[in-house]
Amino acid sequence: MEVKIGVQHAPREIVLESGQSAEEVERVVAEALAGKSQLLSLTDDHGRKVLVPADRLAYVELGEPAPRKVGFGAL
């Protein structure tokens, strides 16, 4: 699923493809915003970890998982 993270005082958002479910990502974001953890930590499809300070989060947008397209034409 595609996750977009807006960070305060940063000109661009962070975009990553995560293998985590929407419920998992939402739980981790809620814990970071509630002060249970100081960092929002997400892992992308390639195993890279993205860490964002919880007090700098502007927004988190969860997208639907996109099906993989095969071939040259789009229907």
- Domains defined for the chain, CATH in brackets: 1-61 (2.30.30)
Rounded to an integer, the average pLDDT of 44-51 is 92
Question: What is the distance between the alpha carbons of residues 10 and 36, in angstroms, rounded to a whole number?
Answer: 24
For 22-43, write each residue's pLDDT tens digit: 899 999 999 999 989 899 999 9
Q: What is the pLDDT of residue 19?
A: 87
Q: Which residues contact 31 (CB under 8 A, 6 or more apart)?
A: 37
Q: What is the pTM of this model?
A: 0.78
For 54-68, write each residue's pLDDT tens digit: 999 999 999 876 566
Q: What is the pLDDT of residue 56?
A: 94
Q: What is the pLDDT of residue 52?
A: 94
